[in-house]
Amino acid sequence: MAEIADEPSSAYPVLDSETVYRTGRVIDLRTDSVAMPGGGSATRDVVVHPGAVGVIALDEGGRVLLIRQYRHAVGRLLWEPPAGLLDVAGEDPLEAAKRELYEEAHLSAGRWDVLIDAFTSPGMTDEAVRVYLARDVSPAPGARFQGVDEEADLPTEWVPLDHAVQLALSGRLHNPLAVMGVLAASANAREAFAWLRPADSPWQEMSPFPGSSNVTRAES
């Protein structure tokens, strides 16, 4: 059997590229003219995204932490793992994950591993995400972080991992980091977590884009 692994390709070189809209917040919109292998070219629109990290936090009882947050694009309250954007220029993704676990759940963890990497919607955006597994979880010291807007009220639930898998497979969980995270955690648990990677594993898919707000400030 041939080795199955995603890899970069030079078969579709970009002939021309233009940032057609800069939001000044998180994303930008870029239009590329791409050479096709059979000759000619095609136009492709790309939502340029800084990427994100998520945290599947497991307690000693094998329960996973889920947080409920409103997501305006879909008009729904979604149950999600702690997660956040990689829009702080130069921030290490592991440190970003630790920050999100602290800010959204006021927790810290003694053990961190890479659980799964993914592109969330590669047909339209370059958003890459890394989901970590956090164990040896305990309350964080100090005062709790106070979020704003949608993050001002984030109810939390500790859900048995097997039940979280059932929620995902029955169509009651829709956040991609939650779905892929609980399924990956469950698969790993059955193998005594043998498939985990070290928390500092290389991540070549991580986007160099620091977010539109940072680019806008740099241009002004």
Give the residue numbers annotated as catalytic, written as ranges.
Answer: 151
CA 70 to chain centre: 17
Q: What is residue 112's three-state secondary structure?
A: strand
| CB proximity list for 212: less than 8 A, separation 6 or greater | 22, 23, 24, 25, 26, 27, 28, 48
28's tokens: 């930008």
- Tell me which DSSP letter residue 80 carries: E
Long-range contacts of 198-203 (CB under 8 A, 24+ apart): 198/113, 198/114, 199/94, 199/112, 199/113, 199/114, 199/132, 200/94, 201/114, 203/93, 203/117, 203/128, 203/130
Sign of the CA dihedral with 25 first, then 212, 21, and 175 last: negative
Length in residues, the chain: 220
In the numeric block, which tokens belong to residue 35?
Answer: 């050479």
CA distance 162 to 108: 23
